[in-house]
Structure 1
C-alpha cells in the first residue's frame, strides 16, 4: 500500500494521528482509533447479482477466505464495551484473494461521518482537545448530526449493522461503472440493548459474547450495496443518497473462529480503504486517500513498537 504522493494529505494524516494520540494517549502497538478489537476468520460467498456488476476476483470466485476485525471506537485499548464512547463500533473485512493479494471493506455502525475531509476532521479533533467542540458543532451541522445520531449499544458484534460511508465504483466486464455504498447486515438481525441492561454487563461483554456464540457455530452477514442514481453525489460522504435507491446483495460471509495469534496479527495488519483490485475502484471522495495515509502511518508505528 503506497504512501500518497500529496504532501498536504500526508501532513494532515500525520496531524490526525498525533491529535488522536493526544486525546486518547499514546499506546504503542495499538491503533490511534478503534484500538480495541480482535481478528476472526471465515469465508465470503458472492451472490449471482454481483457477478453482473463487477469483475473483481472476490466477487467472481466461488468463495474467498476473509479476515474480519470487530472493534470499539477511540484509541483506548482497554475501553469498556459498556462505555458510550466505544460507539460507533467498527468492522474491517479483508478478502484474501491470493498470495500478498487482498482488498478490504471498512465500515462502522453509523451511516455517516462528521466531516467531508481529513482537514475538517482534524479541526474537529483540535476543538475536542481544547474543550471547544461545541463551537465547531455549532457551525458544522453535519458533524452535529453525526454526534447526535442514535448509537444504541449492540447485544453482540454479530447483531450489529455496519455502513461504508464512502462511495466506490464496481466495474463490470464491459467497463461500466456502478457507484455503490456498502452496508453489512447481520443474518441474525439487528439486536440492541437497553441502557439499564448494559450497566450489568462486563467490560469485555462483546468479545466474550462472540466467543460463546462462535462455540455454537458460525455467525453470518450479508454485504449489501446501495446503488447511486446518475445524478447522486459520489465525492462527499456527508451527502446521503435517498432511501428509495435500489439495494442489491453482493454476497455473504461467515465468521467461524478467532484468528490464531489475533493480537500479533492485529498489530501487524494495515487495512486499506482504497480497493486496489481490478473490478472495484475508489470514488473521488477525498476521505479515501486521507484514511489510507492515516492507516499506513499508524501501521508503521505499530509495527515499529516493541513487542
Structure 2
C-alpha cells in the first residue's frame, strides 16, 4: 500500500508519531501506540443473513482465516497489564482473503475516540505533555478540555481492566458504509462481543495481578479450548452523525450480527510476526467503504509509516 500524497496529512501523521515518541520514548521494532501485544489465529464464520448488510467477500464465504492482535494501550512494550494506562485494550482483526489480500478491523475497548480530528488529537497530546497531572489548574490540558468536552467525556469514561483479553467488549472507532449485493447501503460501527461474556476486575484485584497476566492468561486459555467473539454492527439511522468518532449513537439503534471469530492457535514467532504485520483501519474491500470521518486516512497513514519504521528495525526477539 503506497503512502498518501497529501502533504498536510503526511506532516500531521509524522507529527503524531513524533509526539508518541516524546511521550513514551523510542522503542525500535515496536508500535508507537499499543506496543505490547500478542497474535493469535483462527477463523471467521459469517452469520445467517449478514449478506443483507454487505456483499464483502468474507461474508460470502463459508469461512475465512483470521489473524488477530490483542494489545495494551501506550507505546511502552513492557507496561504492566495491571497499569491503568494499559487501557483501553486494543483488538485488531485481519481477514486473510488470499495471499497478500486482506481486510482489517481495528478496535479498542472504549467506545469512541477522544477527538474528532487528528489535529485536535495532536493538540491534546501536546497539552498532556505540557501539563502537570498533579496540578492541572491553569494548565494547557485544562484549557484544552474546557474547549473540548468530548475529550473530557472520553477520559472520564470508566475503563476497568478485564479478567482476560477474551472477556471484554471492543468497539470500532469510526463508521463505515456497508453495501449489499443490491447496492443498498447503511452506515454502521463495529462491536465485537466476547463469547465468554464480559468480566472485569476491581481496582484491588487488578493491582494484585502480575505484570504480564493478560498475556499469560490468553496463552493458557487458547490451549484449553477455542476463544470466540461475535462481530456485530450497530447501524445508524437517517440523520445520525457518521463522520465524528466522538459522537455516540443511541443504544436503541439496530444491531446486526456479521459472524463469529473462533481463535484456536497462538502464532509461532510471535514477536517477529508482530513486528512485520501492519493493520489497516480502512477496509479496502468491495462491500465496505470508509465514511467521511477524518480520522480514517490519518490513522491509515500513521499505521503505514510506523509499520515501515518497525519493519526496518532489528528483530525484537522474545519481547512483547
TM range (shorter): over 0.9
Deviations for 1:23-82, whole angstroms, at most 9, x for unmatched residues? 000000000000000110010000112111111111110000000000000000000000
Q: CA deviation at 1:6?
A: 1.3
Which runs of 5 or more residues in structure 1 are unaligned? none
**Which shifted more, 284-293 or 3-12?**
3-12
Which runs of 5 or more residues in structure 2 are unaligned? 132-139, 316-320
SS at match of 1:122: helix
Deviations for 1:118-171, whole angstroms, at most 9, x for unmatched residues? 111001111111113222112210000011000011000000110002100111
1-side partners of 2:309 and 2:128: how far apart? 24
The aligned residue for residue 199 of structure 2 is 191
SS at match of 1:68: strand
SS at match of 2:233: strand
1-side partners of 2:158 and 2:267: how far apart? 31
The aligned residue for residue 110 of structure 1 is 110
**1:156 pairs with 2:156:** no
TM-score by length of 1: 0.98
2-side partners of 1:155 and 1:90: how far apart? 15
Identify which of 159, 169, 180 aligns with 1:172: 180
The aligned residue for residue 4 of structure 2 is 4
Alignment of 1:31-180 (within 5 A): 31-131=31-131, 132-180=140-188
Q: CA deviation at 1:261?
A: 1.2
Identify which of 238, 248, 261 aligns with 1:240: 248
Q: CA deviation at 1:213?
A: 1.1
2-side partners of 1:215 and 1:114: how far apart? 36
**1:258 pairs with 2:266:** yes
